[in-house]
């Protein structure tokens, strides 16, 4: 569409007047304003300009040879309704002023125009435009957020990933999604589709590792009746099922060499030839692919076709492993507890965390609810420390399974270390105070925990806390600022 090509930056206004000295006067008048001024000496010139540039306002002289101001106004209203027009009329031209307003001009000013009132009117238009653009920007931003409900995570690396999804989604480029197993590559692929112009068309995932070579061929490309023994009818195939939509090739590194060739041909020629068919069918696909291998290295070593790799990898998105965004673990734990414990738990109402000799559940947990009107199970600090310390080789999927298991074995009011699988529980740190656990085995983690413990026991009084820690107050201040403990 034409308007996509037009620049959308600042406020732009076109002045249309057949008298060059009037145009010069306008240029002088608006020189110090944050507007871009375009000049046209006739209606035809103005219309040509509006086709090329995105313009927000127009100052139109009523009397011009050739196309007069009112005719131009009518054209502008029909072809570029977003342009706010101010008419400049001759002295006493009440009738044409009324006509101009009837035709949609936002205002008219009598010539000779008083510079202050003209500046004031244009200033108002600029302000309205700024507010509208800001509104549009906020709407677009909230739409970006809207597409991510199922992708939990706000660590910097994850936020960057969401930003990239919102950016590459609408572009039609192929995207290669890299990441370890269980990091959420499939969710990322779906989010890209949701953010794309194809969002209302089909999204077709294909597990490239799950099928044997021969089945894969007919699954992907379809087959015609009689193509092989057992091919009783025509089969459309996943590629044609995804026509005009998105095809997600999961575990693309598993594709056999022969399949890679066929896939490459389809992508290059935008055509699918079903197994056994003598002609091809055009397809319009956006291809997303995921891999937990290093496909570039595989390509370099000849295990994956390099030409196909470059076709798939127009944009790469890397989904970070969970251990590199540990700050998201509490949110994910909360998310999965809510997801799996939608059934009301009889003990969830009255099983006090204090009975277990542990401190209060995390403040955020207390506020959370599972939608049943009862509070969802909380997570005690020692269990949370285990969850935070574990390395999660299976990433989010493994965490999801740990919580699913805890809920299945009967989670009561609080998730404790006893609800965790042994390999996680084995890593349970000893508390160094009431509910204070070092985040890992490092000296810094113990120091942080010791400071938090001392501050908690001193009600936040730093002098007392320093005495408890047997360090100087200045040292405590330095450490608080070093570890960002405010």
Which positions lie near ligand ATP, rule CB under 6 A?
150-153, 179, 181-187, 292, 335, 396-397, 400
CA atoms within 13 A on the CB side of 93: 20
The β-bridge relationship of strands 84-89 and 175-178 is unpaired
Q: How is residue 386 written in tokens?
A: 């285990």
Nearer to ligand ATP, 149 or 459 (CB): 149
- By C-beta, is 195 or 223 nearer to ligand ATP? 195
User: Given its phi and psi angles, is residue 176 left (phi above 0), alpha (psi -120 to 50 degrees) or beta?
Assistant: beta
Options 178-186, 226-234, 339-347, 367-375: segment touching Mg ion (CB under 5 A) = 178-186
Which of Mg ion, ligand ATP, none does 480 bind, CB closer than 5 to 8 A by kind? none
* In the complex, least distance from residue 396 CB atom to ligand ATP, rounded to whole angstroms: 4
CB of 324 to ligand ATP, least distance (A): 13
54 vs 401, beta carbon nearer Mg ion:
401
Distance of closest approach, residue 206 Cβ to Mg ion, in angstroms: 11
From the list Mg ion, ligand ATP, none, partner contacted by residue 396 (C-beta under 5 to 8 A by kind) = ligand ATP
CB of 291 to ligand ATP, least distance (A): 8
* Residues touching Mg ion, count (CB under 5 A): 1
The C-alpha angle with vertex 217 and arms to 215 and 220, in degrees rounded to 5, equals 105
Residue 175 CB, nearest approach to Mg ion (Å): 14
Of 17 and 251, the one with the shorter C-beta distance to Mg ion is 251
381 binds, among Mg ion, ligand ATP, none (CB under 5 to 8 A by kind): none
Question: CA end-to-end span of the chain, whole Å?
Answer: 52
Strands in 203-207's sheet, in edge-to-edge order, are 203-207, 246-250, 286-291, 175-178, 315-318
Residue 121 backbone class (left: φ over 0; alpha: ψ -120 to 50; beta: rest): alpha
Q: Which is nearer to Mg ion, 179 or 222 (CB)?
A: 179
CA separation for the pair 52, 54 (Å, rounded): 7
Question: In the bound complex, what is the minimum distance in angstroms from residue 407's beta carbon to ligand ATP?
Answer: 15
Would you say 179 or 427 has its CB closer to ligand ATP? 179
Rounded to a whole number of angstroms, the minimum distance from the CB of residue 184 to Mg ion is 8
Alpha carbons within 13 A on the beta-carbon side of 95: 0
Q: Residue 292 Cβ, how far from ligand ATP at the closest point, in Å?
A: 5
Q: Which partner, Mg ion, ligand ATP, none, binds residue 179 by CB below 5 to 8 Å per kind?
A: ligand ATP
Of residues 93 and 182, the one with the C-beta less far from ligand ATP: 182
- The entry of ligand ATP, Mg ion, none near residue 274 (CB within 5 to 8 angstroms by kind) is none
Distance between CA atoms of 74 and 62, rounded to whole angstroms?
12
Question: Which region among 50-58, 66-74, 180-188, 432-440 touches Mg ion (by CB under 5 A)?
Answer: 180-188
Q: How far is CA 53 from its chain centroid?
A: 29
What does 151 interact with, of ligand ATP, Mg ion, none (CB < 5 to 8 A by kind)? ligand ATP
For residue 201, the minimal CB distance to Mg ion (Å) is 22
State the minimum distance, in angstroms, from the CB of residue 335 to ligand ATP. 6
Q: Which of 17, 178, 186, 365 binds Mg ion (CB under 5 A)?
A: 186
For residues 48 and 343, give the distance between their C-alpha atoms in angstroms, rounded to a whole number: 65
Q: Which residue is nearest to ligand ATP (CB)?
A: 184
Tokens of 210: 């799950």
Of the two residues 154 and 481, which places its CB atom closer to ligand ATP in the complex? 154
The tokens for 364 are: 């955020």
Cis peptide upstream of residue 431 (ω within 30 degrees of 0): no
| Of residues 147 and 438, the one with the C-beta less far from ligand ATP | 147
Cα diameter, the chain: 91
Return the number of the residue (186 or 365) whose C-beta is nearest Mg ion: 186
Q: Identify what 429 binds: ligand ATP, Mg ion, none; CB under 5 to 8 Å per kind.
A: none
Q: Where on the chain is the footprint of Mg ion (CB under 5 A)? A: 186
């Amino acid at each position: 569409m034409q308007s996509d090509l037009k620049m959308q930056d600042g406020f732009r206004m076109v002045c249309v007047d057949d008298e060059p000295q009037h145009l010069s006067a306008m240029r002088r008048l608006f020189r110090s304003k944050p507007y871009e001024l375009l000049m046209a000496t006739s209606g035809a010139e103005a219309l040509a300009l509006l086709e090329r540039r995105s313009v927000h306002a127009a100052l139109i002289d009523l009397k011009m040879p050739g196309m007069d101001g009112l005719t131009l106004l009518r054209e502008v209203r029909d072809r570029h309704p977003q342009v706010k027009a101010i008419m400049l009329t001759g002295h006493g031209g009440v009738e044409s002023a009324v006509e101009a307003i009837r035709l949609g001009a936002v205002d008219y000013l009598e010539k000779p125009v008083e510079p202050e009132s003209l500046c004031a009117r244009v200033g108002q238009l600029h302000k309205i435009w700024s507010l509208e653009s800001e509104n549009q920007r906020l709407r677009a931003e909230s739409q970006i957020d809207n597409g991510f409900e199922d992708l939990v995570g706000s660590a910097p690396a994850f936020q960057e990933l969401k930003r990239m999804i919102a950016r590459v989604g609408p572009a039609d480029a192929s995207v290669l999604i890299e990441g370890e197993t269980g990091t959420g590559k499939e969710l990322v692929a779906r989010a890209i589709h949701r953010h794309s112009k194809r969002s209302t068309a089909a999204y077709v995932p294909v597990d490239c590792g799950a099928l044997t070579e021969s089945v894969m061929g007919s699954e992907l490309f379809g087959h015609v009746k009689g193509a092989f023994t057992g091919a009783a009818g025509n089969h459309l195939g996943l590629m044609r099922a995804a026509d005009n939509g998105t095809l997600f090739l999961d575990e693309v590194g598993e594709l056999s060499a022969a399949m890679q060739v066929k896939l490459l041909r389809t992508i290059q020629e935008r055509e699918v030839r079903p197994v056994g068919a003598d002609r091809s069918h055009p397809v319009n696909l956006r291809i997303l692919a995921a891999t937990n291998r290093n496909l570039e290295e595989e390509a370099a070593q000849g295990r994956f076709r390099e030409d196909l790799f470059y076709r798939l990898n127009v944009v790469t998105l890397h989904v970070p492993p969970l251990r590199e965004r540990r700050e998201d673990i509490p949110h994910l734990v909360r998310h999965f507890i809510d997801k799996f414990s939608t059934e009301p738990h009889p003990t969830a109402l009255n099983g006090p965390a204090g009975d277990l000799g542990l401190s209060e559940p995390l403040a955020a947990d207390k506020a959370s609810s599972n939608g049943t009107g009862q509070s969802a199970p909380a997570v005690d600090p020692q269990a949370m420390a285990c969850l935070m310390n574990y390395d999660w080789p299976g990433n989010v999927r493994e965490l999801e399974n740990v919580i699913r298991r805890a809920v299945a074995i009967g989670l009561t009011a609080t998730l404790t270390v006893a609800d965790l699988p042994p390999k996680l529980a084995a890593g349970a740190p000893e508390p160094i105070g009431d509910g204070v656990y070092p985040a890992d085995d490092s000296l810094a983690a113990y120091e942080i925990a010791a400071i938090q413990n001392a501050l908690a026991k001193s009600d936040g009084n730093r002098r007392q806390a320093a005495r408890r820690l047997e360090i100087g107050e200045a040292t405590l201040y330095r450490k608080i600022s070093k570890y960002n403990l405010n």
